[in-house]
Amino acid sequence: MLRRGLLAGSVAWAAIIPFAACAASRPHAASLGYAFALGVYAIGHLICHQLPARSFHLWGAALPVCARCTGIYIGAAVTSILLWARPRAHDARDINTDSAASARRLLLAALAPTAITLAYEWTTGITPANWIRALAGAPLGAAVSWLIGTFELERRR
């Protein structure tokens, strides 16, 4: 159940992000489309700074989350799809989540690209390009998705 929820939730959120920008960019949006965009941008505001200069733009509108967050969500969605698509017969023998220490190591390794871009930004005052920020965030989303997806598999064994 957790695995399906992870897949559906992460893929849906990754898909909703550009659709909200599309709805927000319409000059004569229907009230339902406007309400959808407003809701997604409000959720984005709770979890992200939403600075337009640090966000990708589609259809002339900034996405509801910054480039780094977009990378995190795309990384999580892609990993969720890959976990879901794997043949079930291989799940038990391919997964190595035998300890909390290995999970911590995976998360720290996945966090390293984001930490490096943040350190660069804070020490130089230069913001890396949005595509760099998105690529730096993707491993973190992928690692979290992997750990959640494999945790459920380990629990079923």
Q: What is the mean pLDDT of the chain?
A: 86
pLDDT at residue 43, rounded to an integer: 94
Distance CA 123, CA 129 (A): 16
Find the helix packing angle between 130-156 and 100-124, rounded to 10°. 170
Q: Give residue limits of the domains in the chain.
A: 2-156
Strand 57-58 to 61-62 pairing:
antiparallel
pLDDT band at 127 (very low <50, low <70, confident <90, very high): very high
The answer, yes or no, to whether residue 28 has pLDDT greater than 60, is: yes
In order, the DSSP letters of 32-56 are HHHHHHHHHHHHHHHH----GGGS-
| Predicted pLDDT at 26 | 82
